[in-house]
Amino acid sequence: MILDQEGYLLATNEACEGIFGRTMGALSRRPFSEAFPSGALVPTMLARAADEGVIVRERSVEMALPDLPTIEAEATVAPLPDRMLLLTLNVRAKGSGPDRTSGTLRSVAGMGRTLAHEIKNPLAGIRGAAQLLRSGGGGGMEDAALAQLIVDETDRIRRLIDRVEAFAEERQPERRPVNIHRVLDRVRALMAASAGNELVFREAFDPSLPNALGDEDQLIQIFLNLVKNAAEAADSRGDARGDVLISTSFRQGFRTAPLEVRIQDNGPGVPADLKERLFDPFVTTKPQGAGLGLTLVAKLVAGQGGVIDFESEPGRTTFRVLLPIAPAHTPTSARP
């Protein structure tokens, strides 16, 4: 749907008309947001996209409109010129969404179903924008914005496929003695350069730690991902008091992986309904996220012979990675 700056419908495609049917006439006679009950998510998304000029996306939105059964959809709102908005809904019938239980997602079939769903979402946006272009529902600058949306959503599919391809990587890590503090110093330097001055990075390293046994490139990838997530969570407080603590220690009693690295932030915490499946594919707290980062981290940590877990409450989330230590006689990595 294309909405004007007053919130009235200007144009729709065939799929939209098929979903809303005779209700479409009633929806067109007043601002679209007024059709929703108080507290509904779609009007909030429309207002944010209009006010901030950003694309707003939510993975699961329930639309309870008069005279229609409740609709579940992924919703995307993209700003167009002259404060107009493009609302795309990828609607699915109840019960047809992806099965996100741990057992199913860890199976090939479950992963395939969920991947198909994730790819269909941006494809729905591409198809809808193309139909509006074909029908002449835009015009001039609006057509250019719709064309840009097609490009952006196509790029989103490519990025998703690139990330999924990482799971097919069968290369065995080259595990050598690695100074874990050198890895963490590099990660911190990379993040500090991009995070700005409002975020505080702290460290509490145990200087007596022996070398870890691992692949240095993959360890950098693991901790860069975890620290980036922590920085984004801490920054989401919005009060310039975000804090990320990186610490190391030696855990007595953990014979196979006694070297511990902790990444702690003071962000809002992991929602309770996601805690049991946070490492599953396509589970994310970020509206724009693919939900594959932590799944890949868990895969890489396992490839190092390590273990990853976390604990979270509002105001404090800690990811803990346990790694094996290198035998004293193993040659040290020559990486600069």
Summarised one tens digit per residue, pLDDT across range 228-267 is 999 988 988 778 888 999 999 998 777 778 999 999 999 9
Q: Is 75 helix (H, G, I), strand (E, B) or coil?
A: strand
Q: Each residue of 305-329: pLDDT tens digit? A: 888 899 999 999 999 999 999 887 5
pLDDT number for residue 10: 84
Between CA 267 and CA 247, with CA 200 as vertex, the angle to 5 degrees is 80
The residue among 318, 135, 328, 126 whose CA lies nearest residue 226 is: 318
For residue 122, which of 292, 283, 294, 290 has the smallest C-alpha distance? 290
The pLDDT of 166-177, averaged and rounded, is 70
* CATH of span 2-168: 3.30.450.20
Domain boundaries of the chain, sorted by first residue? 2-168, 176-323
Check: CB of residue 242 under 8 Å from CB of residue 202. Answer: no
284-311 pLDDT tens trace: 665 555 556 787 888 888 888 888 899 9
Whether residue 212 is predicted with pLDDT greater than 90 in this model: the reply is yes
Nearest-angstrom CA–CA distance, 132 and 82: 17
Residue 128: phi and psi, rounded to 5, are -65, -45
Q: What is the mean pLDDT of the chain?
A: 78
CATH of domain 176-323: 3.30.565.10
